[in-house]
Structure 1
Amino acid sequence: MISSDYVLELCNVFYTGQVEPSTCIQRVMGGIKTGVILKDVSLTVQSGEVLAVLGSKGSGKKALLDVISRRVQGPVRGQILLNNQPMSLSLFQQRCGYVSHKCDFIQGLSVQESLYYTPTKASGYTKKTKVKQVMADLALSQMANKCTENLTQSEYRRLMIGVQLIKDPIILLLDEPTWDLDPLNTYLVISILSNAAKKYGTTVILTMEKPRSDVFPFLERVLYLCLGDVVYMGGTRQMLEYFNAIGFPCPQLENPLMYYLCLSTVDRRSRERFVESNHQIAALVEKFKIEGNAYHKGTLNQHTLDHGTLIRHESKMPLMQGKPSSFYVGWILYTRLLVGTFSFRKAGLRQLFLRLFFVPLYFLLLWCFYNNIQNFQHTFITRNGLIFNVLATVSLLGIVNTILIYPMYRTRYYQESQEGMYGGTLFLITYNLVSIPFSFVSILGASAIVYPLVGSINNDPVQFILFALILWGCYVFTEQQTMAILMIVKDYLTAAILSIYVTSVCLALSSGILRSMKGLQDWLYYLTYATQIRYAAAFLSRQVFLNPDLHDALPFDAQRNCTNMNLIETSNLNGLTNTFCRYANGQSFLTERYARDNTDLIFSGILDSELNIGATFAFAAGMIIFNMFLYLLPLPAFVKAKFREE
């Protein structure tokens, strides 16, 4: 039973926007083509009614939904009223719903979980009851525990509708809800929408490109658009009377919805037909402006007066009802992340493996290569390679894990943020509250595998914790760096390549591992101060090469010993090369890698442990804070267009 009556009115709406996709060159040169997409559109629809917006591709159907939902970027003229109140973005987000052509759910969640963990004002038992009711209304009860990625196309579309119905919208917009569905499922979806409209008093406005005759009884009102012009707007049954009166009766055994859609579509098969159909449609548009007003208002009931003026309803609920608290929404998002991660379904197990076991497994592979390190002269190069591989592993796996896990949450965030559910900062806080603890446990386990290779200092638990914390800081930094790139880059492969490229350059130039610091030009040397890898590599190098195992001169191998270092130094001073004993100890190796000149004996603070630890974590924390502000900023229109569903 309908508890309240709502009437949506569009009065003489014009919308000017981009009429064809712009290229990068067009954007730079200012050559974006714009035009009038909607021309003098008026409509009226009230509670419990289903309005079908019909038209061929490019007729302005989706633009009309975007105008009603206040999502368009271009100028809009005219009035959009809900019970005589202007439809604002805030009003639409609080009281209405929009089912877009495409929706991405979080993998690993079931149908019931996807509905329950949708942020709404309801909670607890009330929300559980509502979820069960919506699943029953949408014929989804039998697949309540079915994973979202295993749903059929029809089930997926119904779940998309359910996510909006769970919020009790008074107006529900749907963009092509029956696209690519077979006739039986098309009938099922439209009948479900009609029943929901009657049951909850919801105004349903949907677009269709190829309406079938069997959905005719479920449509109370219909709007025909052609290139933004209104060919007909009114009751579905009165449509036959109207077109018959103006000389276009529908032939028997024809689908009236499709017949009049063809009548209001430009025929492009030849120039003659194009001109003829254009003139015919222009005549139909003018005819409806003159004679269509009676049909436009014809199906409104006693709640309207003669000139479309709405009377006030005593049972009407207030339009603005407020939003759920940020704390409650954050808790829902956090719980949803945990449920998706700890799900015993395929997607959940994949997430859990990536978050917890992927890095330790790769470090186990490193251990297999480096576990036979012996204290001979070649150990300096070998340990240097160990440091490089450890840093490269945590940095690159931080990128890989982010690319494999984060995009589906990012996409869901963009879709839900359009509905005004929450902002980017709250999304990142909840995501980091799950991701960062998982990464710490993963890096701690991975560090325990390779740390014994560092040397005799591995008996010191403090040094082990510092070793793990440095690697964790690098992991978090590259993870946050990739998340920042994914904000504006839709394709995850492109984002991965860009992030890996930046990280690889930093590893090559700033670490002092592949190329010594003394070999860098001055501008490159000072540029390394702005990279995290410089400080992390310096800390690990000090920890590895200044341990007691490398304090004294090491032999070249088991047969050749290097004990007379004075002779070695004399030979080197005379220009001779000692091919057996290049490094007297770990400190001499560090001097070669980091000292800029002969007087730089203390490395100008490069190997200061406290500085390197602090800088490593400052970079990680700074990147987290930077992302908070980055996701707080509104996206430019051309970036939003990348994430807009096709």
Structure 2
Amino acid sequence: MIGGDYTLELCNVFHSGQVEPGSFFQRLTGGVKTGVILKDVSFTTHSGEVTAILGSKGSGKRALLDVIARRVPSKGHVLLEGVPLEEEQFNINCALVRHSTRLLPGLSVQQTLALSLTKISGYLKSSKVKQVMADMALSQVANKCVTNLTKSEYRRLVIGVQLIRDPIILLLDEPTWDLDPLNTYLVISILSNAAKKYGTAIILTMEKPRSDVFPFLDRVVYLCLGDVVYAGPTRNLLDYFGSIGFPCPQLENPLMYYLCLSTVDRRSRERFIESNHQIAALVEKFKIEGQAIMQGNLHENNRIVNPNKVQMNYGKPGGFKTVWMLYLRTLATIFNLNKHGFKQMFMRLLCLPIYFFILWIFYNEAKDYQRAFITKSGLIFNAMVGTYFVSIMNTICLYGPYRTRYYEESQEGHYSGASLLLSWNIVSLPFSCITSFASAAIIYPILADISESLDYIHFSLVLWSSYIYAEQQAIAIMVFVKNGLNAAIVNLYITCIYVMLASGVLRSYKGFEDWLHYLTYITHTRYASIFLHRTVFKQPTFNILPYSDHENCTGITSLIQTSSSLNTNSNANCRYASGKAFLTERFTSKTFTGDINLAGDFNLNFNLGVSFAFSVGIMIFNKFLYLMPLPSYITDKFRE
């Protein structure tokens, strides 16, 4: 256990990585341009101090945070109390706040803090939440939805989520970016107070520091293209640069003045060369004359740390508690009385029934004539395909924020993708079950006798399996595809392929070559479609349906007859003698000559079981998929 007073030390750190953005193919094949990003970086910071890493864009600030957080490989030493800091120890005892952190929409400020992943719970956590809200100046917006917060409030909440864990080292990537001067001052002053109060070593990056934050920064590190121009106490900054011939002019912001001094001037070739030489000289000068400053500590009377400080909240909760907290998070976003909560409830419960009600409007007047074979088959097809599509669109819209938050928190070692999917499925399955059964109840009276309750239950179960399958398919695609529109297009395209292939409605199986017919066996649609059609067309009402009020089909003598083989005009338009004839034409291969009642492909229990086997199988597949290590360029884009 780390005590209340500790030291973080970086010694001769080098880091190489991608220096120019590459195409997808280049990143996939490792053909991107790489180079040295950090060069011999060394500095020291202590508990209770705020250290600012200053530099222009591309200077290596973010890479330095990644090195300290042990997110990327590096050479040199990162020592905490003289012991190498490993990634697991950092994830347990420390925290990193990315500039683009995304919290779950729909939760209030208090809910976001209360549902953060920590070891403590109950009264201790409730007290800690109130304390952090007071420290971060968020008490007045405790019940405000995170999507309605100002930029400053949102940044402070993101920081507060990490302070709940009581980290000994807190890394912040541009916490004041795009904030006005007043809020910049507020955030930095709050961080300074938190560092002294909690005994936390806070290291933050800034690109354009203001003069009014100077008193709150205990140490500064100036970077230029990976080289250290200065690293040491802020109180020695002016004396050091003055001693090497660069005094700060009066009325100038010293932080910004020396940042400009440490920045390459790219306005012309001559200035570029001149500034490069000047910075190289500053780097060499600091290596020779700055060692005493870099190693020097602040006077003890200037360091306000709590000697009795002991971190009690750090560490990650156990697996069961993690899943439980993720489950509560998801429920809280659904049952909140705000716009996001209403949207979730609408999409999870009402979207599919509304679609089925529209189907009911179009198909309600269908009567039991010969055209009922095509009409009711079309209704079954539209119900099944609509369930696929509605499930995909709901998942694309609702799952995105949880996926993005997972990629952020999994980087901190809080939980795996399997835990995320388990909690998601526990919440999603009851909702999808309710909406599937309610939707089936709308159109089932058109298709069959509603008094056959068991058939209705089976019909609803297959629609539910279709909903689950499409949802899990969308979740699998969203592992790799960040943009919601692109993910929807990919999912709909894949769905259209196996629907056209295996539904038996758009094209009969008899028109397929053998290899194409065998291909239908590996699709969920085949079993769902056969089951739904078999459930409906097995009814006696489909035996010898008349063509219309004035023409009957009593002269049909075989399962399927062409008009040329019929004897009377009354039978000229009749095609199907029974539902069995329709099923034989649509769902058997061109070589099939047997009886569908004896064919295993038409066994209701078999098709129902295989439909759910596909759904359960893809759920298990996703859990393994989310446990696979993905390339960093895929996971990083979800945190941008």
Q: What corresponds to 2:462 in structure 1?
A: 470
Residue 91 of structure 1 contacts residue 320 of structure 1 at CA under 8 Å; is this kept in 2?
no
> Whole-Å Cα distance in 1 between the matches of residues 634 and 563 of structure 2?
64
- Note the C-alpha offset of 1:224: 0.2
**Residue 500 (structure 1) aligns with:** 492
Give the drift of 1:642: 2.3
Letter of the 2:71 counterpart: R
CA shift digits 1:108-167 (9 cap, x unpaired): 100000011001011001001000000000110000000000001111111111011111
Which one of 612, 619, 625 corresponds to residue 624 of structure 1? Answer: 619
Q: How does 1:62-73 map to 2 (within 5 A)?
A: 62-72=62-72
Structure 2 residue runs of 5 or longer lacking an equivalent are: none
Equivalent residue for 1:641?
A: 636
Three-state SS of the structure 1 residue aligned to 2:602 is coil
- The answer to whether 1:562 aligns with 2:560 is no
1:301 Cα deviation after fit: 4.8
Query: Residues 570 and 589 from structure 1, CA distance in 2 versus in 1: closer, same or farther, beyond 3 angstroms?
Result: closer
Correspondent of 1:248 among 234, 246, 260 = 246
- Number of residue equivalences: 631
Residues 482-523 of structure 1: CA deviation (Å, up to 9, x unaligned): 000001111111111111111111111101111000001111
> 2:232 touches 2:294 (CA, 8 Å); kept in 1?
yes
- Give the superposition deviation at 1:327: 1.1
Matched, 1:452 2:445: yes
**Structure 1 residue 107: deviation in Å?**
1.3
User: What is aligned with 2:382?
Assistant: 389
Shift of 1:634: 1.6
Q: Secondary structure at the match of 1:179?
A: coil
Which of the numbers 68, 76, 99 marks the counterpart of 1:101? 99
CA distance in 1: counterparts of 2:178 and 2:311, whole angstroms:
38
- Aligned pairs for 1:270-309 (under 5 A) are 270-301=268-299
Q: Check conservation: 1:591, 1:601, Cα contact below 8 A.
A: no
What is aligned with 1:14?
14
Which whole-Å CA distance do the structure 2 matches of 1:635 and 1:601 have between them? 50
SS at match of 2:103: coil
Partner of 1:352: 345
Measured in 2, the distance between the counterparts of 1:317 and 1:136 equals: 21
1:365 is the counterpart of 2:358 = yes
> Match of 1:586?
579
Superposition RMSD on alpha carbons, in Å? Answer: 2.1
Counterpart residue type for residue 546 of structure 1: K
Aligned to 1:231: 229
CA distance in 1, matches of 2:91, 2:528: 46
Establish whether residue 258 from structure 1 lines up as the match of residue 256 from structure 2. yes
Structure 2 letter corresponding to 1:614: G
Q: Is the 8 A contact 2:165 2:314 kept in 1?
A: no
Q: Which SS does the other structure have where 1:565 is aligned? A: coil
How many Å separate the matches in 2 of 1:491 and 1:576? 60
CA shift digits 1:242-294 (9 cap, x unpaired) = 00000000000000000000001000001110000000000000000000011
1:21 Cα offset (Å): 1.2
Determine helix, strand or coil for the equivalent of 2:478.
Answer: helix
**Equivalent residue, structure 2, for 1:611:** 606
SS at match of 1:32: coil
Instruction: Report the residue type matching 1:34 in the other structure.
Output: T
TM-score by length of 1: 0.94
1:192 is matched with 190
Please state how far the C-alpha of 1:545 moved relative to its aligned partner.
1.2
Aligned twin of 1:57: 57
Instruction: Give the corresponding residue for 2:203.
Output: 205
3-state SS in 2 of match to 1:606: helix
Residue of structure 1 equivalent to 2:46: 46
- Distance, in Å, in 2 between the alignment partners of 1:357 and 1:602 is 41
Residues 378 and 623 (structure 1 numbering): CA distance in 2 closer, same or farther, change over 3 Å?
same
**Could you tell me how far 1:317 is from its partner in structure 2?**
5.3
Larger deviation, residues 595-604 vs 634-643: 595-604
1:337–1:434 CA contact under 8 A, matched in 2: yes
Structure 1, unpaired ranges of 5+: 304-312
* Counterpart selection for 1:220 from 218, 221, 236: 218
**C-alpha spacing 1:354/1:237, structure 2 compared with 1 (3 Å):** same
Map of 2:527 onto structure 1: 535
Identity %: 58
**Secondary structure in 1 matching 2:116:** coil
Letter in 2 for 1:504: C
Indicate conservation of the 8 Å contact 1:94/1:320, yes or no. Answer: no
- Deviation of the 1:321 alpha carbon: 6.5
Is 1:517 aligned to 2:515, yes or no?
no
Post-superposition shift, 1:3?
6.9
- Secondary structure of the corresponding residue to residue 547 of structure 2: coil
Cα deviation, 1:49-93, whole Å, max 9, x if unaligned, reads 000000000000000000000112xx4110001111111111111
Give the equivalent residue in structure 2 for 1:309. Answer: none
Distance in 1 between residues matched to 2:561 and 2:513, nearest whole Å: 28
Deviation per residue, 1:416-443 (Å, 9 max, x gap) = 1111111111111011000011100111
- Mapping of 1:301-340 within 5 angstroms? 301=299, 322-340=315-333
The separation in 1 between residues aligned to 2:532 and 2:417, in whole angstroms, is: 35
In structure 1, the partner of 2:33 is 33
Per-residue deviation, 1:635: 1.5
Would the alpha carbon gap of residues 390 and 82 (structure 1) be closer, same or farther in structure 2, given more than 3 Å must change? same
- Supply the AA of the counterpart residue of 2:600: G
Q: Check whether the contact 1:58–1:227 (CA below 8 A) recurs between aligned residues.
A: yes
Query: Partner letter of residue 544 of structure 1?
Result: V
For the Cα contact (< 8 Å) 2:561–2:575, is it kept in 1?
no
Deviates more, 1:592-601 or 1:634-643: 592-601
What amino acid sits opposite 2:587 in the alignment?
Answer: Y
Query: How big is the shift at 1:190?
Result: 0.3
1:571: how far off? 5.9
- Separation of aligned partners in 2, 1:187 and 1:293: 31
1:49 partner letter: E
* TM-aligned CA deviation for residue 300 of structure 1: 4.1
